[in-house]
Every structure is written in C-alpha cells, then in structure tokens.
Amino acid sequence: MKKFVLMISVAVFTTGIYAQSSSSSIHTRTIDLNEKALSFKLTEEQFELIKDEAYANPKFVTGTIYQDETPIKTGVPMRYNAHADEIEIESGPSSYSALTKDPSIFVKIGPDVYVFAPFEGSRERGGYFNVLHEGKRYNLYKKVTSVFREAKPAASTYARDTPPSFQKSTVYYLVDNGTFLEMPKGKSRIMKMMDGKRKEINDFVKVNKLDIDKEDDLIKVIAYFDSLQ
C-alpha cells in the first residue's frame, strides 16, 4: 500500500444552473492536434486510430467549471485526457484548449467531478482525480492513466507487428483528511485498510452481496465505512 500526502482543498460540490463569469482566465494554452500526432512520431492517420484511448471518455460532455465553490462557467464541453492529465475544453470546431491546473478550480463533466491536487505543494507534480465519494472523513478518488506504447516490429517472421497504442489503467485512493492511500488490488488487502471496522464492513458486504472489485460496490463500501466514523 502506497501512502503519500497531497495538499488539497476540495470544495463542496453543488449542482444547479448559474450565470457565467469571466472574472479569471481558465485556459492555459491551445491544443494542436497535428502537433500531438507528431509528438508521438505518428502520422495523422495513425494517431486518429488510437487517440480515443488517451481519454477517460473521448466524447466532450457539457459541464461546469467551479472556482472556490463558485461556478464561473456553465455549459462547457469538456473531457479528461488521461495521458496528458489535462481537462480539455472544446472552444470551437476542431479547436481545443487546456484548463489551467489550479487546486481552487474543479469541474463537473456530466456526473463526474474532477479536482486538481498538487503533490507536496508542487502543481507540476500534481494531477487530476475523479471524485467518486465525498464523506465526512473519507473520500474515494479514482485516477485513470493512459500510457502511450510505441509500435514494435515482429520478433520473427511468424509473429505480427505490434501497432502503437494507448494502454489505460485505474487506481483508487482512499483519502483521509488530505492523505492519499493507494488502494491495493483484491478484497482481503482492501479490507485491511479498514481494520478498525473490519467486522462491520464484512457484514455489510455479505448482507448486501457486494463485490469490492466492482466500482459501484466499492463506492457503497467506502460510504458505509465513512458513516461508521
């Protein structure tokens, strides 16, 4: 189990319709898709075939940008780039920009909330997390990462070439007052993280026939664990 501390201030998430505000700049740069393809040493055609795998969800979904609990822009088409660890904003036809990485700014993309957390005070080393549950003491965060794999030629005449690709992975974090605990794989190892309430959690899982390896059930377990504090 990995443990690390992130200095983070997470706002109370609210829903509703609010007026837009242009009081602060929220874009850091424009994203050039042709430049992206070149950065991976791919042709535009090759990049087009795999680019969707770089995202948690490749489709732009309408959402809201918040700063210090206040909605500053609504109706914004956004998506999370799991490779670049950026929130992309659709600013026009085939025109995208990246949201500035600021711990005071968070977004709600459809039903999904993303917060930015610096690592040991450093924004450069920080990243975005998808908030799955926010409790009185414990929160559950998800981190989706997409890693680019270069094409590889076949090792022999009997094998096939391996095309370039993006490979996604997901890690869950139990957050306790700003301390992030990376959740291990497997039910028994996850249960050890909740040793103080292990009997209650075991009973809750059995009665409700939950599978901790499934995200929806893991959210229910963490919410119950938090309610026991």
DSSP for 69-86, written as a single string: TEEEEEEEEEEEETTTTE
* Collapsed DSSP state (helix, strand, coil) of residue 40: coil
H helix or E strand, kind and range, residue 92: strand 86-92
pLDDT at 29: 63
- At 54, is the pLDDT very low, low, confident or very high (cuts 50, 70, 90)? very high
From first CA to last CA, the distance across the chain in angstroms is: 22
Q: Looking at residue 202, what is its pLDDT?
A: 93
Mean pLDDT of the chain: 84
> Which amino acid appears at position 222 of this protein?
I
Q: What is the pLDDT of residues 201-227, one digit of tens each?
A: 999 999 999 999 999 999 999 999 999
- Determine contact, residues 5/105, Cβ cutoff 8 Å: no
Query: What was the pLDDT predicted at 8?
Result: 37
For range 1-9, the mean pLDDT: 39
CA angle, 147 as apex, 141 and 150 as ends, to 5°?
Answer: 175
- pLDDT tens digits, 130-180: 999 999 999 999 999 999 999 888 888 888 888 999 999 999 999 998 899
Question: What are the backbone angles phi and psi of residue 204, rounded to the nearest 5°?
Answer: -65, -45
Instruction: Give residue 188's identity as a one-letter amino acid code.
Output: S
Q: Where are the domains of the chain?
A: 3-183, 185-229
- pLDDT value, residue 161: 85
Q: Would you state the pLDDT for residue 34? A: 60
What's the mean pLDDT in 38-55?
88
Which residues face 11 on adjacent strands?
none
How much is the average pLDDT of 37-49?
84
What would the pLDDT profile of 69-110 be if each residue is shown by its tens digit? 899 999 999 999 999 999 999 988 778 889 999 999 999 999
d(CA 100, CA 112): 18
Buried b (16+ CB within 10 A) or exposed e, 175-213: bbeeebbebeeebeebbebbeebeeebeebbeeeebebe
What's the pLDDT tens digit per position in 170-199? 999 999 988 999 999 888 899 999 888 989
Phi/psi at 225 (nearest 5 deg)?
A: -55, -45
pLDDT score for 42? 86
Q: How far apart are CA 11 and CA 68, in angstroms?
A: 6
- φ, ψ for residue 130 (rounded to 5)? -90, 120
Question: What is the C-alpha separation between 37 and 44, in angstroms, rounded?
Answer: 6
In the DSSP assignment, the letter for residue 46 is H
